[in-house]
Structure 1
Amino acid sequence: MRNTVYFLVFEGFADWQAALALCEIRRPGDWQVRTVGFAAAPVTSMGGLRVQPDMTLDQLDAAGAAMLIVPGGHLWQRGDGAPAVAAIRRLHAAGAVIAGIDSGVLVLARAGLLDERRHTGNWPGQISAQVPAYTGAPHYDSEVLAISDGGVISASHLGSVEFAREVIQTLDLYSPSDREHWFGLFKHAQLPPWCVGEAMAA
């Protein structure tokens, strides 16, 4: 049963980029969220949060994985993190969704997941400049902040709300109308119908 969402943590990972997505994943109580690291030692996020990984990359359960979320961090811009490439390929081949945001998109490109899929990133040309083997430039969409295609979610560093929306939709959280209300609330501060009455009463 695919009921686990893995979140990759490493020294200097951008802790805020997937925060909304992770909160909504955990809210219904149907999904497990587990952190995975390159090693078992604790890591410190870009914002100074110390995180103890639940497991290492070689311990990932591909059969139970619904999704792997890859946040940004300077690690990817340095070209480091090769073990993540192999893990991403293994999980995606087993049917898990791979979701990358900011420079996390670079490791998706290194795994070859963006060559034939519509995707986005921080800006046109960044992926080509940092991933020589990447051939997906014709499929790059600079008009969106996040997009899902073929079991791969990609997002700009400016698109954390859009990234969360793609994750929510992919995992089929909430009804379609509730998803739109959620996006209106977090992106545009538009109160959903169920909050309007409470706000007026207050």
Structure 2
Amino acid sequence: MFTIYVYVLDTLADWELGHVISELNSGRFFKKDAPLVSLKTVSYSEAPIHTMGGLTIVPDCLIDDMIVSKTSVLLLPGADTWNDPKHAAIIKKAGELLSFGALVCAICGATAALADFGLFDQRPHTSNGPGFLDMICPGYKGQEFYINKPSVSDNNLITASCTGTLLWAKQIIEHLGVFASNTLESWYEYFTTGNSEQFFALMQSLPSGEEK
């Protein structure tokens, strides 16, 4: 079973997580032999957080409760509050997970937090455009590994810009292996283009021929 830890913090950018958590939680397009997936929200305290969209989230667990395992996955969303020192603990945990071979996925402002901690110094990655990390991360030294694409997958590290949410979700789902390859391609093309032919291809790719 994969345990997906979703880090929640004030001003969390709701939309950046939408595609990936809805598919992983619902399992509606999973293949028949997909591994089990459990989602948990995690934070630095038990206090509720308030997202940028005005939602209130009560964390399921604390950072100290996280299990470091190859079947652990950490999702780090964008937010306006990543420069608060209280988030240092989750960045340290991200480093532990990466070293252990577990999947860490960061988007938008979360990429800056990882970059400032030195986790991009020797790994391909992306963020909110060339120069963004240089501008806001004094500790950033990974310029030669920066790739100017919406989302970049490098083994167990997947990073994305604020405009790369859908591709980021696709790469995470692909890494976990919970969709059949043709289902994933049709899913991505449908949500990218809105083409109804891709919707029918998506439905036909499922084991039963229809959405679960």
Q: In the alignment, which residue of structure 1 is the partner of 2:57?
A: 51
Q: Does 1:108 align with 2:107?
A: no
Greater RCO (CA < 8 Å, at least 6 residues apart): 2
Q: Does 1:30 align with 2:36?
A: yes
TM-score of the two chains, using structure 1 as the length reference:
0.89
Q: Check whether the contact 1:88–1:111 (CA below 8 A) recurs between aligned residues.
A: no
- Look up the equivalent residue of 1:20 and give its one-letter code: H
- Look up the equivalent residue of 1:6 and give its one-letter code: Y
Q: Residue 140 of structure 2 is aligned with which of 134, 141, 150?
A: 134
Instruction: Give how far 1:188 is off.
Output: 0.9
Q: In the alignment, which residue of structure 1 is the partner of 2:207?
A: none
Please give the alpha-carbon distance, in whole angstroms, between the structure 2 residues aligned to 1:177 and 1:73. Answer: 33
Instruction: Give how far 1:13 is off.
Output: 0.8
- Which stretch of structure 1 is more off in the superposition, 61-70 or 124-133? 61-70
- Look up the equivalent residue of 2:22 and give its one-letter code: C
The 1:195/1:150 distance shift into structure 2, 3 A limit, reads closer
TM-score of the two chains, using structure 2 as the length reference:
0.85
The 1:167/1:126 distance shift into structure 2, 3 A limit, reads same
Please give the alpha-carbon distance, in whole angstroms, between the structure 1 residues aligned to 2:23 and 2:197. Answer: 16
Q: Check whether the contact 1:120–1:156 (CA below 8 A) recurs between aligned residues.
A: yes
Instruction: Give how far 1:78 is off.
Output: 5.8
Q: Check whether the contact 1:108–1:114 (CA below 8 A) recurs between aligned residues.
A: yes
Correspondence list, 1:153-192, <5 A: 153-192=158-197
RMSD (CA atoms): 2.1
Please give the alpha-carbon distance, in whole angstroms, between the structure 2 residues aligned to 1:157 and 1:79. Answer: 22
Q: In the alignment, which residue of structure 1 is the partner of 2:210?
A: none
Q: In the alignment, which residue of structure 1 is the partner of 2:17?
A: 18
Instruction: Give how far 1:65 is off.
Output: 4.5
Where does the alignment leave 5 or more consecutive residues of structure 2 unmatched?
28-34, 204-212
Instruction: Give how far 1:192 is off.
Output: 4.8
Correspondence list, 1:77-116, <5 A: 77=83, 81-116=87-122
Q: Check whether the contact 2:151–2:167 (CA below 8 A) recurs between aligned residues.
A: yes
Moved over 4 A (4+): 77-80
Q: What SS does the corresponding residue of 1:75 show, helix, strand or coil? A: coil
Please give the alpha-carbon distance, in whole angstroms, between the structure 2 residues aligned to 1:123 and 1:76. Answer: 18
Q: Residue 145 of structure 1 is aligned with which of 142, 146, 150?
A: 150
Please give the alpha-carbon distance, in whole angstroms, between the structure 1 residues aligned to 2:98 and 2:137. Answer: 19
The 1:11/1:173 distance shift into structure 2, 3 A limit, reads same
Please give the alpha-carbon distance, in whole angstroms, between the structure 2 residues aligned to 1:124 and 1:38. Answer: 30
Q: Check whether the contact 1:72–1:103 (CA below 8 A) recurs between aligned residues.
A: yes
Q: What SS does the corresponding residue of 1:154 show, helix, strand or coil? A: strand
Percent identity, please. Answer: 28
Q: Does 1:67 align with 2:76?
A: no
Q: CA-to-partner distance for each residue in 1:29-53, whole Å, 9 max, x for gaps? A: 8200000011111111110110010
- Look up the equivalent residue of 1:34 and give its one-letter code: K
Count of aligned pairs between the two proteins: 196
